[in-house]
């Protein structure tokens, strides 16, 4: 599904990714762990099309050159990034945004757009599943949301858009235990033979809730080791500093 070969990325002449390789097949859950500044967020930004990086290497998504696509085209193809810091968008109603978003994607895929009633039904169902207070959706997008509400809102968006590849950029940071469990259940409910996940995190804890098929250690712009869930536990013991 996703294939990354020798990916290098620079920003302001500073090399952040230094030849990264990664393959994700449909239905797989991959976790990337690494210290601060190792390039985790850069990887997720590049995959979802953020501008401002000088990029080398090959990235294909379902056989198509991903780096040629605009941000919104990647979303239409089924790539979703749950932001580490979801942005506050003053004056934009969350419901309006969600409806615009799902219909933009449906339109691009040649599917029938949702009318107001169908949309409300979908929102209601997803909110119940994720134990998300529907009232929050009539507020301005992420404005005045608590950290937990922002992250849950990301998972709600993910759940509505039902992407093929979901990238979770430190979704666990700033969550209390209850919120972490709800967010994880949301992710688990989306797991299927088709849907893949790339989970970026500092901590092993999230991986107790979302069991990954593969764990990779990202250090200094490269994946230095890959393994299964046990690798995460080992990392937790040793720490990034001494891990080689």
Partner 1 sequence: MQSEIKSNFEKSLSEGNFSSSQKDIKEKNFNKFIEQGFPNKRIEDWKFSDLNQIISTNFENLDFSKKDDQSSIDVDFIHEFEHNKIVFINGSVSKVDLSYENENKIILNQDYELDEDLSKNVLINLNTAFLNNCIKITVNKGYKFQKPLILYNYLTSDLDSHGLNMRLDINLEDDTSLDVINISNESSKSNFLNFRQKINIGKNSVLKNYSLDINPTSNIKYLYKDINLDQNSHLEYFILSKGSKFAKHDINCSLNNNHGSIALNGIIDLDNKKHHEIKTVINHNEENCKSYQLIKSVLSENSKGIYQGKIYVNSKAQKTDGYQLSRALLLNDDVEFNAKPELEIYADDVKCSHGSTSGNIDENSIFYLMSRGLSHDQSKKLLTNGFLNEAVEKITNMDVKSLIKKLTGIQE
Residue with smaller CB distance to partner 1, 140 or 220 = 140
Q: Do β-strands 54-61 and 14-24 pair in parallel, antiparallel, or remain unpaired?
A: unpaired
Q: Taking the complex as a whole, how short is the minimal distance between the CB of residue 216 and partner 1, in angstroms?
A: 23
Please report, as residue ranges, which positions from 170 to 229 form the binding site for partner 1 (by CB under 8 A).
none
Candidate residues 41, 153, 157, 201; the one interacting with partner 1 per rule CB under 8 A = 157
Q: Taking the complex as a whole, how short is the minimal distance between the CB of residue 105 and partner 1, in angstroms?
A: 4
Q: Quick check: helix, strand or coil at residue 98? A: helix
Candidate residues 17, 20, 75, 223; the one interacting with partner 1 per rule CB under 8 A = 75
With 0-12 / 13-18 / 19 or more C-beta atoms within 10 angstroms meaning exposed / middle / buried, residue 114 is middle
Q: Taking the complex as a whole, how short is the minimal distance between the CB of residue 78 and partner 1, in angstroms?
A: 10
Please report, as residue ranges, which positions from 1 to 20 form the binding site for partner 1 (by CB under 8 A).
none
Residue with smaller CB distance to partner 1, 76 or 205 = 76
Q: In what order do the strands lie in the sheet with 2-11?
A: 14-24, 2-11, 54-61, 64-65
Alpha-carbon gap, residue 63 to 1, rounded angstroms: 7
Cα 35 off chain centre by: 18
Residue with smaller CB distance to partner 1, 66 or 207 = 66
97 near partner 1 (CB under 8 A): yes
| Alpha helix positions (H), the chain | 40-48, 71-77, 94-108, 116-129, 147-161, 177-190, 205-209, 229-238
83 near partner 1 (CB under 8 A): yes
Candidate residues 11, 67, 69, 92; the one interacting with partner 1 per rule CB under 8 A = 92
Q: Taking the complex as a whole, how short is the minimal distance between the CB of residue 217 and partner 1, in angstroms?
A: 26
**Running DSSP on this structure, what letter comes out for residue 93?**
B
Alpha-carbon gap, residue 187 to 18, rounded angstroms: 30
Q: Which residues bind partner 1 (CB under 8 A)?
A: 48-51, 70-72, 74-76, 80-81, 83, 86-87, 89-93, 96-97, 100-102, 104-105, 108, 140, 157, 161
């Amino acid at each position: 599904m996703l294939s990354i070969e020798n990916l290098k990325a620079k920003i302001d002449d500073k090399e952040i990714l230094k030849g990264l390789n990664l393959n994700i097949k449909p239905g797989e859950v991959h976790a990337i762990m690494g210290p601060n500044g190792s390039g985790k967020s850069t990887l997720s930004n590049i995959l979802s099309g953020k501008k401002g990086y000088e990029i080398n290497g090959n990235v294909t998504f379902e056989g198509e050159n991903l780096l040629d696509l605009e941000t919104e085209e990647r979303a239409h193809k089924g790539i979703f990034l749950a932001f580490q810091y979801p942005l506050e968008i003053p004056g934009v109603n969350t419901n309006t945004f969600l409806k615009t978003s799902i219909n933009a994607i449906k339109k691009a895929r040649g599917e029938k757009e949702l009318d107001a009633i169908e949309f409300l039904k979908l929102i209601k169902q997803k909110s119940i599943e994720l134990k998300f207070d529907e009232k929050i959706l009539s507020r301005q997008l992420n404005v005045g949301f608590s950290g937990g509400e922002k992250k849950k809102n990301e998972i709600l968006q993910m759940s509505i858009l039902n992407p093929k590849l979901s990238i979770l950029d430190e979704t666990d940071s700033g969550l209390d235990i209850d919120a972490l469990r709800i967010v994880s259940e949301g992710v688990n409910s989306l797991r299927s033979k088709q849907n893949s996940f790339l989970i970026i995190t500092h901590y092993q804890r999230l991986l107790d809730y979302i069991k990954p098929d593969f764990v990779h250690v990202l250090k200094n712009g490269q994946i230095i080791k890959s393994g299964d869930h046990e690798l995460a536990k080992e990392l937790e013991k040793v720490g990034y500093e001494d891990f080689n």
